[in-house]
C-alpha cells in the first residue's frame, strides 16, 4: 500500500492507525471492523470503556490494567495500537478536565487502544527521514537561536516560569518540563493536515491515529522524534527495554554554516547538557525498578541528532526486564515519560499541575503499539496535533526548565517547536 492509499484507508475507517515511520516491523496500517474491540479512558470520571459491535460498556478504571487484561484474553498474536495521555495513570497527580470544552482533555479521550483485525504494510517514502541521525533542511530559514520569533514573553508564561524557578531554587525539583496548550481553528481535513505534517516534519515516531465513535472521538496527528519505550523479545524469551529521552533542542538553519554552528552549540551548552543528564538519571532509576539488577546501561549519552526542523540532544537508556514484570506493567511504571515531567517525577508533576493551569490531554503521553507476545514500541506524544474532527485543534509545546534557563529562551524554544504544527493547518 502506498502512503496515499494509507491516507484514503484511514479516511474510510472510523477506527484506524497508521504508524508512519521506522517503527518495529513498520510502517504499517491497522484497520478495525465493527466487531473489533477498542478501549477509551476518561480521566475525569476514571472510567475505561470498551467499544465493539456498536456498543459501549464500562470495563474498569485504569487504562493500563484494562489493556493488560485485553492482551491476556485475546489472540496470542494480537497487537493493540493507540495512545495513553498524560493523565492515564490515575495514581499520579496530573490535571484532568475539558478546559472549556465538552468532555475530557479538550474533547478527546485520555487514552485510546484499538485491536485491529486487519494489518497492511505501507511502503516507505523515498527520502523519508532515517530511523535516527541526520535529516534534511527544508527550503527556508528557521528563526536563529537567540532571536525570539515573538518580541515579548507573555505575562502568563513569565509568571509560570517564575514559579518554576522558585520551586527549583527551593530544592523541590531539579528540572520541570513547563508546557502549555494552543487551541486553533481550521477547516482543514485531518487527512490533509497530516499529509502536510508528514511532508514538512518527517520523524521516526510519526503516526496518524483515528478513533471516531460517538462519545469517544479523537484524531492524533504526530511527528514525534522521541522514543518512549521499545520492548524487544530475545530468542530465549527474555525482554529488553530501551528509552531514548530528548532534552536539548535547537532549530535547523538553511545556511549550512549556521546550521553546523547550532549543532555544535547544542552539544556543549551547559543548560542543555544539564537538562539531558537529569532525565537520564531519572530514567536509570525508572528502569532499575523494572529491570534485572545490574542490567541498566547508557550506551549513548547526549548525542546530537538532526531532523528536518531541529537538532536534538538524545541519550539512550536500556535494561533487561525482570521475568515477573509484564510489558504493560513496565510501560506503566515508566509513565509518563521523564522527559515530559522532570525530576523527581511525582513532586515535579505536582509543580506542573500548579503552574500550568490546564490539562495536557494526550500531549506528553505515549503513542504506539503493544503486543500479546511481550513486544512493544511507543513514541512520546510531542510535535502533535489533536482534534475531535470538529475544526477545533489543539497542540502542546514547551521545554525543560532548570536554574540555568531564562524565560526568553524557553518561550522562544516553545514557539518554533510549534511552528510546523501550525503550518500544517494553513492549507
Catalytic residue numbers read: 226, 247
C-alpha cell recorded at residue 132: 535516527
**425 contact partners, CB below 8 Å, separation of at least 6:** 184, 186, 188, 193, 196, 385, 393
290 within 8 A of 327, measured Cβ to Cβ: no
Beta strands 239-244; 310-320: pairing state? antiparallel
- Which residue, 232, 243, 210, 282, is CA-closest to 379? 243
425 within 8 A of 186, measured Cβ to Cβ: yes
Name the phi and psi angles at 63, rounded to 5. Answer: -65, -30
Radius of gyration over alpha carbons of the chain, in Å?
20
98 within 8 A of 382, measured Cβ to Cβ: no
C-alpha 134/C-alpha 116 separation (Å) is 33
Q: Which residues of 128-155 are buried (b: 16+ CB within 10 A; e: fewer)?
A: bbeebeebebeeeebeebeebeeeebee
C-alpha 227/C-alpha 230 separation (Å) is 7
Amino acid at each position: 500500500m502506498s502512503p496515499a492509499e494509507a491516507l484514503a484507508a484511514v479516511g474510510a475507517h472510523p477506527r484506524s492507525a497508521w504508524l508512519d515511520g521506522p517503527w518495529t516491523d513498520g510502517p504499517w496500517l491497522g484497520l478495525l471492523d465493527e466487531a473489533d474491540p477498542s478501549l477509551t479512558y476518561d480521566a475525569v470520571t476514571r472510567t475505561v470503556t470498551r467499544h465493539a459491535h456498536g456498543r459501549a460498556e464500562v470495563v474498569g478504571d485504569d487504562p493500563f490494567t484494562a489493556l493488560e487484561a485485553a492482551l491476556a484474553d485475546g489472540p496470542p498474536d494480537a497487537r493493540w495500537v493507540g495512545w495513553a495521555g498524560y493523565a492515564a495513570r490515575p495514581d499520579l497527580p496530573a490535571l484532568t478536565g475539558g478546559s472549556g470544552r465538552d468532555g475530557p482533555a479538550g474533547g478527546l479521550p485520555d487514552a485510546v487502544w484499538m485491536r485491529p483485525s486487519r494489518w497492511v504494510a505501507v511502503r516507505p517514502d523515498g527520502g523519508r527521514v532515517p530511523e535516527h541521525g541526520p535529516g534534511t533542511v527544508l527550503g527556508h530559514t528557521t528563526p536563529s537561536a537567540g532571536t525570539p520569533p515573538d518580541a515579548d514573553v507573555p505575562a502568563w508564561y513569565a509568571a509560570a516560569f517564575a514559579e518554576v524557578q522558585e520551586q527549583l531554587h527551593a530544592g523541590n525539583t531539579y528540572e520541570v518540563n513547563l508546557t502549555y496548550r494552543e487551541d486553533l481553528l481550521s477547516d482543514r481535513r485531518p487527512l490533509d493536515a497530516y499529509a502536510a505534517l508528514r511532508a514538512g516534519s518527517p520523524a521516526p515516531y510519526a503516526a496518524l491515529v483515528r478513533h471516531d465513535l460517538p462519545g469517544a472521538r479523537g484524531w492524533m496527528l504526530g511527528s514525534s522524534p522521541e522514543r518512549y519505550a521499545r520492548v524487544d523479545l530475545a530468542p530465549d524469551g527474555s525482554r529488553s527495554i530501551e528509552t531514548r529521552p530528548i532534552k536539548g533542542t535547537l532549530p535547523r538553519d538553511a545556511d549550512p554554516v549556521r546550521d553546523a554552528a547550532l549543532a555544535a552549540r547544542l552539544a556543549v551548552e551547559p543548560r542543555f547538557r544539564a537538562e539531558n543528564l537529569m532525565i537520564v538519571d531519572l530514567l536509570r532509576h525508572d528502569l532499575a525498578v523494572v529491570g534485572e539488577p545490574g542490567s541498566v546501561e547508557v550506551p549513548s549519552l547526549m548525542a546530537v541528532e538532526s531532523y528536518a526542523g531541529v537538532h536534538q540532544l538524545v541519550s539512550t537508556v536500556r535494561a533487561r526486564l525482570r521475568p515477573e514484570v509484564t510489558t504493560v506493567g513496565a510501560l506503566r511504571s515508566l509513565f509518563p515519560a521523564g522527559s515530559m515531567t522532570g525530576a523527581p517525577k511525582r513532586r515535579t508533576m505536582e509543580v506542573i499541575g500548579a503552574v500550568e493551569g490546564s490539562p495536557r490531554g494526550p500531549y506528553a503521553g505515549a503513542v504506539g503499539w503493544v503486543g500479546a507476545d511481550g513486544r512493544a514500541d511507543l513514541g512520546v506524544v510531542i510535535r502533535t496535533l489533536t482534534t475531535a474532527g470538529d475544526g477545533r485543534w489543539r497542540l502542546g509545546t514547551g521545554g525543560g526548565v532548570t536554574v540555568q534557563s531564562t524565560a526568553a529562551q524557553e518561550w522562544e524554544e516553545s514557539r518554533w517547536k510549534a511552528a510546523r504544527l501550525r503550518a500544517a493547518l494553513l492549507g
